Structure 1
Amino acid sequence: MAKRYWLMKSEPDAYGWNDLVKEGEGTWDGVRNHRAANNLRAMQVGDEAFFYHSNIGKEIVGIATISQSGLTDPSDPEGKWAAVKLKPVRKLARPFTLAEAKADPKLTDMELVKYSRLSVSEVTPDEWKYVLSLAEG
């Protein structure tokens, strides 16, 4: 199965990139949106995700890899919601902002732009490569 790409949002004052780096591996839980939860369920070990700071910054700041998939959200007493574990790969050379994504005609179909409130979204391979080219030169 081909590697897939994702974007995972977190409020940096609650759990930011530096928190993931410090822990070495984090659990992505607490998602209570069906589309976002379905994206979590679709993730496989080895998939990569952009780590996005929401609310403060509104920018992609790093790349993480899915280290465990198919987990039940430990914060859900009913066991209905999904979770994954992820590990940091690297910080981007420079943050890539939501404003940049919205202003770029090549990214008008990106889920980050189309569904800006979605906390876990899919990124196409072409979008992934393009964003990396802009953020890393």
Structure 2
Amino acid sequence: MNYWLMKSEPGTYSWDDLVKDKQTFWDGVRNYQARNNMKEMKVGDLVLFYHSVNEKTVVGIAKIVKEHYQDPTTEDDRWVVVDIAPVQPLKRPVKLDEIKDDARLDQMVLVRNSRLSVQPVKKEEFDIILGMSE
């Protein structure tokens, strides 16, 4: 199993939207590195759901329920989507500032390349963030 972080502007698509929808395809990715990360995702992989822009907070855990396929919102075959479903909200949202302040996470992609919208997360990093949410 692999672990990921996916960012969404809560005004565009929030954790609450995902919970209400029960499942969605993750579209709109137009960055090659993020797209390549999506191509690596497998069914069952876990995802930290991150509210970007003003909140900058990890708010929930989702899972990959369908591997990559052509993005239905474009005819450009370079872009793909994956389907995700909610697993659970975090007991307490974890803010980016908290993540940056934790020396154990100083190599995390979110800290080193915070603009990447879909990024890998090491299991240890995933577990630390879950622990911070307790």
Q: In structure 1, what is the equivalent of residue 63 of structure 2?
A: 65
Q: Which amino acid is 1:10 matched to?
A: S
Structure 2: which 5+ runs fail to align? none
Structure 2 residue 95 is the aligned partner of structure 1 residue 76: no
Q: 2:21 is aligned with what amino acid?
A: E
Q: Quick one: which of 102, 105, 110 aligns to 1:107?
A: 105
- Which one-letter code corresponds to 1:81 in the other structure? W
Match of 2:130 among 112, 132, 137: 132
Equivalent residues in 2 for 1:21-100, closer than 5 Å: 21-100=19-98
Which moves more between the two structures, 65-74 or 5-14? Answer: 65-74
1:76 counterpart SS class: coil
Superposed CA RMSD in Å reads 0.7
Q: Could you tell me the TM-score, scaled by structure 1's length?
A: 0.95
Tell me how far apart the structure 2 counterparts of residues 70 and 99 of structure 1 sit (CA, whole Å). 32
| Runs ≥4 residues deviating over 4 A | none
Shift of 1:103: 1.1
Gaps of 5+ in 1: none
Shift of 1:75: 1.5
- Seq. identity, %: 47
CA distance in 1 between partners of 2:123 and 2:45 (Å) = 11
Q: CA deviation at 1:70?
A: 1.9
- 1:24 deviates by 0.4
TM-score relative to the length of structure 2: 0.98
